[in-house]
Amino acid sequence: MDYKMDSGWRLHPIGGDTGQAYMGTRAEERVFLKRNSSPFLAALSVEGITPRLIWTKRVGNGDVLTAQEWLNGRELNPDEMKGKPVRDILHRIHHSENLLKMLQKVKGELFNPINFYNLYVADLPDDLKSNSVLQQVTEYVKNSIASIDDSQKTVCHGDVNRKNFLLDEEDRLYLVDWEMVKIADPFSDISTLLVQYVPYEEWGIWLEQYGLRMNDSMERRLEWYSLMVCLCMIKKSHSQGRNVEMNQLILLLKKLYQNRLNSYL
């Protein structure tokens, strides 16, 4: 339902998974409004990674609204997710010392491999628990946690999918929806993109173009996070009743698990 703020802005829900996003209108003005966004948004705006932050306001019920410039644009299609603009923006985020310092300053959540594993096993439905393939992979990732070098931590978006990329009318690319931002291994973001949008046979090319010279430690991290991402996406597809997608992910999971000892290069 639309409602009016003290300053005369009217809020019109525009969908999304969280129900927290609105188009704000006042006279001829339009802005993108979101309730209770991450305080990290200001740093992202300064870096030009998200649309420009205009103002932040606390409203009567205690919610904090952030207003960003309204941009006419579109989300990316699956093929575009493999391209250079997406690689470049992820590389920039993962290698920004300034963004890392700012996220640490606002007490960004620190994620280790065990945290990703715990997210998957929490409230796992019985039929997924009893699936033999998922059982085998879950046991493998659990037993592998201690061998994963998680010393490298960077800013990670946490939800790399095409709907969170905005390409405006001037072909400027932005990454939005930072509610799942965390300080984590960048391979968690990279694996999320690869699993969803890049054929397995092209992973090596993508990693090289991203700028990685893979070593044994990196390959183990990529392997682990790719399996973990698959498991979590299977759980999400199951909860949303997307069975075709879930079965496709299980097939990919089996392929990744069977090829886990092979080099990605």
Q: Would you name the residues annotated as active-site residues?
A: 159
- Closest residue by Cα to residue 210 from 101, 116, 100, 93: 93
101: tokens are: 């310092």
Q: Rounded CA gap, 107 and 23, in Å?
A: 29
Separation of alpha carbons 121 and 113, rounded Å: 13
Backbone angles phi, psi at 156, to 5 degrees: -125, 135
Q: Which residue type sits at 262?
A: N
Contact 23, 12 (CB under 8 A): yes
Query: Using only C-alpha atoms, what is the Rg of the chain?
Result: 20
Q: 137: closest CA among 123, 117, 114?
A: 117
